[in-house]
Amino acid sequence: MKLLTREDIPEDAITVSPSQIALFQRCAYKWYLSKKEGKQEFRVTTEKMTLGTIFHKLLQNYYNLYLDRPVELLSSQELVNLMERTQAENGWTDYDSQLLFINAYTIFITYMKWAARSEQLIPVGTEVETFAPTGLRSNSFTGSRPIYLHGILDLVAERNGALGTVDHKTHTRRPWTVESIVFDIQTNFYPMLVALQGIEIEWAMISTIDMWLPKNNVHEALQREERFQRYILKRSMMSLEAYKDEIFKVIKQMWCDPTFQYTRRLDKFCSGCGFSELCMTYLQGLDFTELMDSKFESTTMEVQEFDAQVFLGDVDSPDASSYPVLDDN
Protein backbone atom coordinates (compact mmCIF):
# COMPACT_ATOMS: atom_id res chain seq x y z
CA MET A 1 0.00 0.00 0.00
CA LYS A 2 1.68 3.18 -1.22
CA LEU A 3 0.12 6.41 -0.05
CA LEU A 4 1.18 10.01 -0.65
CA THR A 5 3.44 11.56 1.98
CA ARG A 6 4.35 15.17 2.69
CA GLU A 7 7.34 14.84 0.38
CA ASP A 8 4.99 13.97 -2.50
CA ILE A 9 2.96 17.18 -2.47
CA PRO A 10 3.96 20.69 -3.64
CA GLU A 11 5.59 22.91 -1.01
CA ASP A 12 2.94 25.60 -1.47
CA ALA A 13 0.01 23.18 -1.21
CA ILE A 14 -2.94 24.06 1.03
CA THR A 15 -3.98 21.08 3.17
CA VAL A 16 -7.46 20.50 4.59
CA SER A 17 -8.00 18.09 7.50
CA PRO A 18 -11.23 16.71 8.98
CA SER A 19 -10.75 18.94 12.04
CA GLN A 20 -10.65 21.97 9.74
CA ILE A 21 -13.87 20.84 8.06
CA ALA A 22 -15.54 20.43 11.46
CA LEU A 23 -14.31 23.84 12.63
CA PHE A 24 -15.52 25.57 9.46
CA GLN A 25 -18.96 23.97 9.73
CA ARG A 26 -19.20 24.97 13.38
CA CYS A 27 -17.95 28.55 12.93
CA ALA A 28 -16.59 29.75 9.59
CA TYR A 29 -15.36 32.99 11.14
CA LYS A 30 -13.27 31.19 13.75
CA TRP A 31 -11.77 29.08 10.96
CA TYR A 32 -11.00 32.27 9.03
CA LEU A 33 -9.23 33.84 12.01
CA SER A 34 -7.09 30.81 12.79
CA LYS A 35 -6.36 29.50 9.27
CA LYS A 36 -6.29 32.60 7.07
CA GLU A 37 -5.37 35.35 9.53
CA GLY A 38 -3.07 33.15 11.60
CA LYS A 39 -4.53 34.37 14.89
CA GLN A 40 -3.67 32.33 17.95
CA GLU A 41 -6.19 31.01 20.44
CA PHE A 42 -5.00 29.93 23.85
CA ARG A 43 -5.76 26.28 24.55
CA VAL A 44 -5.82 24.53 27.90
CA THR A 45 -4.82 20.86 27.83
CA THR A 46 -7.06 18.92 30.20
CA GLU A 47 -6.30 15.63 31.92
CA LYS A 48 -8.82 13.89 29.65
CA MET A 49 -7.01 15.16 26.56
CA THR A 50 -3.60 14.12 27.89
CA LEU A 51 -4.89 10.70 28.93
CA GLY A 52 -6.32 10.17 25.46
CA THR A 53 -3.01 11.18 23.85
CA ILE A 54 -1.08 8.76 26.07
CA PHE A 55 -3.42 5.90 25.21
CA HIS A 56 -3.14 6.63 21.49
CA LYS A 57 0.66 6.44 21.73
CA LEU A 58 0.50 3.15 23.61
CA LEU A 59 -1.80 1.71 20.95
CA GLN A 60 0.47 2.96 18.17
CA ASN A 61 3.55 1.28 19.64
CA TYR A 62 1.61 -1.89 20.43
CA TYR A 63 0.20 -2.35 16.92
CA ASN A 64 3.58 -1.48 15.40
CA LEU A 65 4.93 -4.64 17.00
CA TYR A 66 2.45 -6.75 15.01
CA LEU A 67 2.43 -5.24 11.53
CA ASP A 68 1.18 -7.76 8.95
CA ARG A 69 0.42 -10.41 11.57
CA PRO A 70 -2.22 -11.03 14.27
CA VAL A 71 -1.72 -9.29 17.61
CA GLU A 72 -0.74 -11.31 20.68
CA LEU A 73 -0.30 -10.86 24.40
CA LEU A 74 2.96 -9.20 25.38
CA SER A 75 5.16 -10.79 28.02
CA SER A 76 5.87 -8.92 31.26
CA GLN A 77 9.24 -7.75 29.94
CA GLU A 78 7.74 -6.71 26.61
CA LEU A 79 5.12 -4.68 28.47
CA VAL A 80 7.83 -2.92 30.47
CA ASN A 81 9.76 -2.21 27.27
CA LEU A 82 6.62 -0.79 25.64
CA MET A 83 5.94 1.42 28.65
CA GLU A 84 9.50 2.74 28.90
CA ARG A 85 9.77 3.40 25.18
CA THR A 86 6.45 5.26 25.03
CA GLN A 87 7.38 7.39 28.03
CA ALA A 88 10.84 8.19 26.66
CA GLU A 89 9.59 9.07 23.17
CA ASN A 90 7.08 11.59 24.50
CA GLY A 91 8.91 12.99 27.53
CA TRP A 92 6.29 11.92 30.07
CA THR A 93 8.68 12.02 32.99
CA ASP A 94 7.22 14.68 35.33
CA TYR A 95 5.10 13.62 38.28
CA ASP A 96 1.67 14.57 36.87
CA SER A 97 2.41 12.91 33.52
CA GLN A 98 3.56 9.73 35.22
CA LEU A 99 0.32 9.52 37.22
CA LEU A 100 -1.75 9.81 34.05
CA PHE A 101 0.55 7.41 32.22
CA ILE A 102 0.13 4.70 34.86
CA ASN A 103 -3.65 5.16 34.62
CA ALA A 104 -3.57 4.77 30.83
CA TYR A 105 -1.06 1.91 31.04
CA THR A 106 -3.31 -0.04 33.42
CA ILE A 107 -6.25 0.33 31.03
CA PHE A 108 -3.99 -0.62 28.12
CA ILE A 109 -3.10 -3.96 29.76
CA THR A 110 -6.83 -4.76 29.97
CA TYR A 111 -7.27 -3.64 26.36
CA MET A 112 -4.39 -5.84 25.19
CA LYS A 113 -5.93 -8.92 26.82
CA TRP A 114 -9.30 -8.07 25.26
CA ALA A 115 -7.73 -7.47 21.83
CA ALA A 116 -5.65 -10.66 21.89
CA ARG A 117 -8.79 -12.63 22.76
CA SER A 118 -11.20 -11.06 20.26
CA GLU A 119 -9.05 -9.19 17.75
CA GLN A 120 -9.80 -9.81 14.07
CA LEU A 121 -7.50 -7.09 12.79
CA ILE A 122 -4.11 -7.50 11.14
CA PRO A 123 -2.32 -4.13 11.39
CA VAL A 124 -0.92 -2.69 8.17
CA GLY A 125 0.14 0.76 9.41
CA THR A 126 -0.23 3.04 12.44
CA GLU A 127 -0.48 6.83 12.64
CA VAL A 128 -0.41 6.92 8.84
CA GLU A 129 -0.12 10.52 7.64
CA THR A 130 -1.20 10.92 4.05
CA PHE A 131 -2.53 13.41 1.49
CA ALA A 132 -4.87 13.25 -1.48
CA PRO A 133 -5.25 15.69 -4.40
CA THR A 134 -8.60 17.43 -4.81
CA GLY A 135 -7.88 18.96 -8.22
CA LEU A 136 -8.95 22.32 -6.72
CA ARG A 137 -6.86 25.47 -6.49
CA SER A 138 -7.33 28.41 -4.15
CA ASN A 139 -8.43 31.79 -5.47
CA SER A 140 -5.95 34.34 -6.80
CA PHE A 141 -5.96 36.28 -3.51
CA THR A 142 -4.32 33.28 -1.82
CA GLY A 143 -1.91 32.54 -4.67
CA SER A 144 -3.91 29.99 -6.68
CA ARG A 145 -2.34 27.17 -4.69
CA PRO A 146 -3.16 23.45 -5.10
CA ILE A 147 -5.45 22.02 -2.41
CA TYR A 148 -4.90 18.58 -0.86
CA LEU A 149 -6.82 16.61 1.74
CA HIS A 150 -4.74 15.70 4.78
CA GLY A 151 -5.29 13.14 7.51
CA ILE A 152 -3.53 10.98 10.06
CA LEU A 153 -5.11 7.52 10.27
CA ASP A 154 -4.85 5.90 13.70
CA LEU A 155 -4.70 2.42 12.22
CA VAL A 156 -4.95 0.84 8.78
CA ALA A 157 -5.67 -2.88 9.01
CA GLU A 158 -7.02 -5.93 7.25
CA ARG A 159 -10.16 -7.67 8.48
CA ASN A 160 -11.20 -10.92 6.83
CA GLY A 161 -8.85 -10.08 3.97
CA ALA A 162 -10.38 -6.62 3.35
CA LEU A 163 -8.59 -3.32 3.97
CA GLY A 164 -10.10 -0.77 6.34
CA THR A 165 -9.42 2.17 8.66
CA VAL A 166 -9.69 2.28 12.45
CA ASP A 167 -10.24 5.49 14.42
CA HIS A 168 -9.55 5.20 18.16
CA LYS A 169 -11.95 7.27 20.26
CA THR A 170 -11.13 7.86 23.91
CA HIS A 171 -14.29 9.87 24.59
CA THR A 172 -15.97 8.44 27.63
CA ARG A 173 -19.73 8.42 27.17
CA ARG A 174 -20.61 9.46 23.64
CA PRO A 175 -23.51 7.24 22.51
CA TRP A 176 -21.95 5.74 19.38
CA THR A 177 -24.06 3.54 17.15
CA VAL A 178 -23.51 2.15 13.67
CA GLU A 179 -26.06 4.71 12.45
CA SER A 180 -24.29 7.65 14.10
CA ILE A 181 -20.89 6.91 12.57
CA VAL A 182 -22.42 7.34 9.10
CA PHE A 183 -22.38 11.06 9.92
CA ASP A 184 -19.02 11.17 11.72
CA ILE A 185 -16.60 13.35 9.75
CA GLN A 186 -13.45 11.32 10.41
CA THR A 187 -15.10 7.96 9.76
CA ASN A 188 -16.02 9.08 6.24
CA PHE A 189 -13.05 11.35 5.60
CA TYR A 190 -10.35 8.71 5.98
CA PRO A 191 -11.78 6.14 3.51
CA MET A 192 -12.31 8.97 1.01
CA LEU A 193 -8.74 10.18 1.60
CA VAL A 194 -7.39 6.74 0.68
CA ALA A 195 -9.91 6.11 -2.13
CA LEU A 196 -8.82 9.31 -3.91
CA GLN A 197 -5.38 7.69 -4.17
CA GLY A 198 -6.80 4.66 -5.97
CA ILE A 199 -6.97 2.33 -2.94
CA GLU A 200 -10.41 1.04 -1.99
CA ILE A 201 -11.37 0.85 1.66
CA GLU A 202 -13.96 -1.84 2.37
CA TRP A 203 -14.86 -0.84 5.91
CA ALA A 204 -14.33 1.86 8.52
CA MET A 205 -14.29 1.23 12.25
CA ILE A 206 -14.60 3.35 15.36
CA SER A 207 -12.90 1.72 18.34
CA THR A 208 -14.15 3.27 21.57
CA ILE A 209 -12.20 3.14 24.82
CA ASP A 210 -13.71 4.31 28.09
CA MET A 211 -10.76 5.80 29.98
CA TRP A 212 -12.59 6.41 33.26
CA LEU A 213 -13.35 3.73 35.83
CA PRO A 214 -16.95 3.58 37.12
CA LYS A 215 -17.66 5.10 40.51
CA ASN A 216 -18.13 2.88 43.53
CA ASN A 217 -21.83 2.64 42.85
CA VAL A 218 -23.39 -0.72 41.98
CA HIS A 219 -26.44 0.75 40.24
CA GLU A 220 -24.35 3.09 38.06
CA ALA A 221 -21.79 0.39 37.27
CA LEU A 222 -24.48 -2.01 36.06
CA GLN A 223 -25.79 0.59 33.61
CA ARG A 224 -22.43 1.37 32.06
CA GLU A 225 -21.53 0.03 28.64
CA GLU A 226 -18.53 -2.16 27.96
CA ARG A 227 -15.17 -0.46 28.34
CA PHE A 228 -14.09 -1.42 24.80
CA GLN A 229 -16.52 -1.43 21.89
CA ARG A 230 -16.24 -1.35 18.12
CA TYR A 231 -18.63 -0.10 15.48
CA ILE A 232 -18.07 -1.05 11.85
CA LEU A 233 -19.29 0.81 8.79
CA LYS A 234 -19.28 -1.46 5.75
CA ARG A 235 -18.48 -0.20 2.26
CA SER A 236 -22.10 -0.71 1.24
CA MET A 237 -23.14 1.82 3.91
CA MET A 238 -20.65 4.49 2.80
CA SER A 239 -21.79 7.24 0.46
CA LEU A 240 -18.32 8.44 -0.43
CA GLU A 241 -19.33 10.21 -3.63
CA ALA A 242 -22.04 12.20 -1.86
CA TYR A 243 -19.65 12.88 1.03
CA LYS A 244 -16.95 13.96 -1.42
CA ASP A 245 -19.34 16.42 -3.07
CA GLU A 246 -20.22 17.92 0.30
CA ILE A 247 -16.59 18.19 1.44
CA PHE A 248 -15.49 19.75 -1.86
CA LYS A 249 -18.33 22.26 -1.56
CA VAL A 250 -17.00 23.27 1.87
CA ILE A 251 -13.42 23.49 0.57
CA LYS A 252 -14.54 25.79 -2.25
CA GLN A 253 -16.14 28.08 0.33
CA MET A 254 -12.95 27.98 2.38
CA TRP A 255 -10.37 28.67 -0.27
CA CYS A 256 -11.87 29.19 -3.74
CA ASP A 257 -14.75 31.66 -3.34
CA PRO A 258 -13.36 35.20 -2.79
CA THR A 259 -16.86 36.52 -2.02
CA PHE A 260 -17.72 34.07 0.78
CA GLN A 261 -18.88 35.90 3.90
CA TYR A 262 -17.42 34.68 7.21
CA THR A 263 -20.40 35.72 9.31
CA ARG A 264 -19.85 36.66 12.93
CA ARG A 265 -22.45 35.41 15.36
CA LEU A 266 -23.08 34.73 19.02
CA ASP A 267 -24.72 31.49 20.12
CA LYS A 268 -24.34 28.71 22.65
CA PHE A 269 -21.22 27.35 20.92
CA CYS A 270 -19.33 30.60 21.60
CA SER A 271 -18.97 29.98 25.33
CA GLY A 272 -15.29 29.30 25.98
CA CYS A 273 -14.16 30.42 22.51
CA GLY A 274 -11.00 32.49 22.68
CA PHE A 275 -12.22 34.78 19.91
CA SER A 276 -15.57 35.65 21.51
CA GLU A 277 -14.30 39.03 22.76
CA LEU A 278 -13.41 39.97 19.20
CA CYS A 279 -16.89 39.09 17.94
CA MET A 280 -18.58 40.94 20.80
CA THR A 281 -16.53 44.06 20.06
CA TYR A 282 -17.46 43.92 16.38
CA LEU A 283 -21.17 43.30 17.01
CA GLN A 284 -21.27 46.28 19.39
CA GLY A 285 -20.14 48.46 16.50
CA LEU A 286 -16.81 49.25 18.18
CA ASP A 287 -13.37 49.37 16.60
CA PHE A 288 -11.80 45.91 16.93
CA THR A 289 -8.64 46.63 14.90
CA GLU A 290 -6.37 47.26 17.89
CA LEU A 291 -7.72 44.20 19.68
CA MET A 292 -7.12 42.08 16.57
CA ASP A 293 -3.54 43.32 16.15
CA SER A 294 -2.48 43.00 19.77
CA LYS A 295 -4.18 40.45 21.98
CA PHE A 296 -4.92 37.94 19.25
CA GLU A 297 -1.35 37.74 18.03
CA SER A 298 -0.36 36.19 21.36
CA THR A 299 -0.48 32.52 22.28
CA THR A 300 -0.96 33.43 25.95
CA MET A 301 -4.46 34.81 25.56
CA GLU A 302 -6.89 33.65 28.23
CA VAL A 303 -10.12 31.93 27.23
CA GLN A 304 -12.96 33.68 29.03
CA GLU A 305 -16.44 32.29 29.55
CA PHE A 306 -19.31 34.61 28.71
CA ASP A 307 -23.07 34.47 28.49
CA ALA A 308 -24.11 35.48 24.99
CA GLN A 309 -27.73 36.02 26.08
CA VAL A 310 -26.67 38.49 28.77
CA PHE A 311 -24.51 40.30 26.25
CA LEU A 312 -27.27 40.53 23.65
CA GLY A 313 -29.69 41.87 26.23
CA ASP A 314 -27.30 44.38 27.79
CA VAL A 315 -29.45 47.24 29.12
CA ASP A 316 -26.54 49.67 28.77
CA SER A 317 -26.38 49.10 25.02
CA PRO A 318 -27.78 51.98 22.95
CA ASP A 319 -29.78 49.62 20.72
CA ALA A 320 -29.80 46.06 21.97
CA SER A 321 -32.71 45.16 19.71
CA SER A 322 -30.45 45.56 16.66
CA TYR A 323 -28.14 42.76 17.76
CA PRO A 324 -28.43 39.33 16.09
CA VAL A 325 -30.87 36.85 17.61
CA LEU A 326 -29.31 34.08 19.66
CA ASP A 327 -29.38 30.82 17.68
CA ASP A 328 -30.07 27.82 19.90
CA ASN A 329 -30.08 25.27 17.05
| Confidence tier at 285 by pLDDT (50, 70, 90) | confident
Q: What is the pLDDT of residue 78?
A: 95
Fold for the domain defined by 6-256: Lambda Exonuclease; Chain A (3.90.320)
| Residue 317 scores a pLDDT above 50 | no
Q: What is the pLDDT of residues 230-264, one digit of tens each?
A: 889 888 888 888 889 999 999 999 999 988 887 77
pLDDT of residue 118: 78
For residue 163, the SS3 value is strand
Instruction: Out of 156-160, 225-229, 308-312, give the one with best mean pLDDT.
Output: 156-160
Question: Distance (Å, rounded) from C-alpha 129 to C-alpha 190?
Answer: 11
pLDDT at 174 (0 to 100): 67
Closest CA to 131 of 67, 57, 192: 192
> What pLDDT shows up at residue 38?
78
Mean pLDDT across 168-175: 74
The pLDDT score that the predictor gives to residue 199 is 93
207: pLDDT strictly greater than 80: yes
42-84 per-position pLDDT tens digit: 666 677 888 889 999 999 999 999 999 999 999 999 999 999 9
**Up-side HSE of residue 78: CA atoms within 13 Å toward CB?**
10
**Choice between 180 and 204, residue whose per-residue pLDDT is larger:** 204
- For the chain, what are the domain ranges? 6-256, 268-322
Distance CA 267, CA 110 (A): 42
Q: Which residue has the higher pLDDT, 179 or 251?
A: 251
Q: Using 50, 70 and 90 to split pLDDT, how confident is the model at 294?
A: low
What is the model's pLDDT at position 165? 95
Give strand pairing partners of 151. 130
CB-based contacts of 40, cutoff 8 Å, min separation 6: 34, 296, 297, 298, 299, 301
318, 323, 329: which is closest to 308 by C-alpha? 323
